């Protein structure tokens, strides 16, 4: 049987953590033959650490055959020791009345510390997924704080936006989500993201031709996907958690086990593709194989798409500028 791998999860006692850990331990993320050791990080305060112990008691009570070990930590320097995968979920989300600069600076400190800790103690091949918002910029900060690790191993989660877009397109076209290929989401995990079905197909047929309604695209589809997080908060009184955890599983599984030629969306550092400046952590269409992702190249960007891409890029560059003094 396979040797266990180490999976670090931060914010492990939070809502997403609660929807995520059990699925990792059951083998849904890395395969039903891959034992895992969970290295769980929470803030060191008594309350969150106690809640984390409770979650670990429940993990124990599931008697997952693939759960080869678990640890509770209050310090990233121990939580990330030798870790093969790191899911950075814990962060300080924006609270009512909080200035953007304040949010960026609080998270800047968290993700500088976690980036440095990964740099110091994680496996040299660690694959990092940042979920905690602002996800793209937090991933950028962590990458910049870990100069000895490959920059392409730092990624941000756009997969929830991707999955939201898939469901909206399936409903509009009366097709099944599993039949839709070549959909993607460009840019920032924020309402400025650009979900793009121009290349999407269902059994070889063009989704754009099936929909044939640019007014719906611009005024219904994009706002629905972009504001979906807010709609969930409004309905549930809490932010999306199970769907976010599901997207994290999808992102890591496809990265590690491959997407079989299919496009998926990942937030990854640009190498200059599509005019996105190097290192900007940007949602791109990718295919994955053998533990590596490759950005899909050569797609035509029409005027409407360029305008949307410019807008989400501008927002990311403003966020980057907002944390530049910390790095």
Residues lying near ligand NAI in the complex (CB under 6 A) are found at: 10-11, 13-17, 41-43, 48, 89-91, 93, 110, 131-133, 135, 157, 160, 189, 239-241, 244
* CB 17 to ligand NAI: min, Å: 6
Q: Identify the three-state secondary structure at position 127.
A: strand
Residue 37 contacts residue 69 (beta carbons within 8 Å): yes
* CB 241 to ligand NAI: min, Å: 5
Taking the least distance from each CB to ligand NAI, the nearer of 17 and 269 is 17
Q: How far is CA 262 from CA 109, 157, 204, 304, in A?
A: 36, 17, 13, 25
Minimal CB distance to ligand NAI: which residue?
14
Residue 137 contacts residue 320 (beta carbons within 8 Å): yes
- Tell whether 131 is in a known binding site: yes
- Tell whether 107 is in a known binding site: yes
* CB 65 to ligand NAI: min, Å: 27
Cis peptide before 288 (omega within 30 of 0): no
d(CA 76, CA 79): 5
Taking the least distance from each CB to ligand NAI, the nearer of 35 and 48 is 48
- Tell whether 114 is in a known binding site: yes
Residue 186 pairs with which residues in a beta bridge?
194
Which position among 73, 189, 251, 325 bears the catalytic label? 189
Taking the least distance from each CB to ligand NAI, the nearer of 131 and 200 is 131
73 a catalytic residue: no
Dump strand ranges (E) for the chain. Answer: 5-10, 36-41, 67-73, 85-88, 127-130, 154-156, 180-181, 184-186, 194-196, 201-202, 205-206, 264-269, 281-289, 292-295
- Tell whether 11 is in a known binding site: yes
* CB 50 to ligand NAI: min, Å: 11
Q: Cβ contacts of residue 296 below 8 Å, gap of 6+?
A: 184, 263, 284, 285, 286, 287
- Tell whether 12 is in a known binding site: yes
Taking the least distance from each CB to ligand NAI, the nearer of 10 and 270 is 10
Return the active site residues: 189
Residues at the binding site for NAD(+) are 11-17, 107, 114, 131-133
Residues at the binding site are 11-17, 94, 100, 107, 114, 131-133, 164
């Amino acid at each position: 049987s396979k040797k266990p791998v180490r999976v670090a999860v931060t914010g492990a006692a939070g809502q997403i953590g609660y929807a995520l850990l059990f699925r990792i331990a059951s083998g849904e993320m890395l395969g039903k033959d891959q034992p895992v050791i969970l290295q769980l990080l929470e803030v060191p305060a008594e309350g969150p650490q106690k809640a984390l112990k409770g979650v670990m008691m429940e993990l124990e009570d599931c008697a997952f055959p693939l759960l080869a070990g678990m640890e509770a930590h209050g310090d990233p320097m121990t939580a990330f020791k030798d870790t093969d995968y790191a899911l950075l979920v814990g962060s300080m989300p924006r609270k009512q009345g909080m200035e953007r600069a304040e949010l960026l600076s609080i998270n800047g400190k968290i993700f500088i510390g976690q980036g440095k800790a990964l740099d110091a103690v994680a496996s040299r091949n660690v694959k990092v997924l940042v979920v905690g918002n602002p996800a793209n910029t937090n991933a950028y900060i962590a990458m910049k704080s870990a100069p000895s690790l490959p920059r392409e191993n730092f990624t941000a989660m756009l997969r929830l936006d991707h999955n939201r877009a898939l469901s909206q397109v399936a409903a509009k076209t009366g097709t099944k989500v599993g039949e839709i290929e070549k959909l993607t989401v460009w840019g920032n995990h924020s309402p400025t993201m650009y979900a793009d079905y121009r290349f999407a197909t269902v059994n070889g047929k063009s989704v754009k031709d099936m929909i044939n309604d640019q007014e719906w695209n611009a005024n219904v589809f994009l706002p629905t996907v972009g504001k979906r997080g807010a709609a969930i908060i409004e309905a549930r009184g809490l932010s999306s958690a199970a769907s976010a955890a599901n997207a994290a599983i999808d992102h890591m599984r496809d990265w590690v086990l491959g997407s079989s030629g299919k496009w998926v969306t990942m937030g990854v550092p640009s190498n200059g593709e599509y005019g996105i400046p190097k290192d900007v952590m940007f949602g791109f269409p990718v295919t994955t194989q053998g533990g590596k992702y490759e950005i899909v190249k050569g797609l035509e960007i029409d005027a409407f798409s360029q305008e949307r891409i410019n807008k989400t890029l501008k927002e990311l560059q403003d966020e980057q500028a907002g944390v530049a003094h910390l790095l």
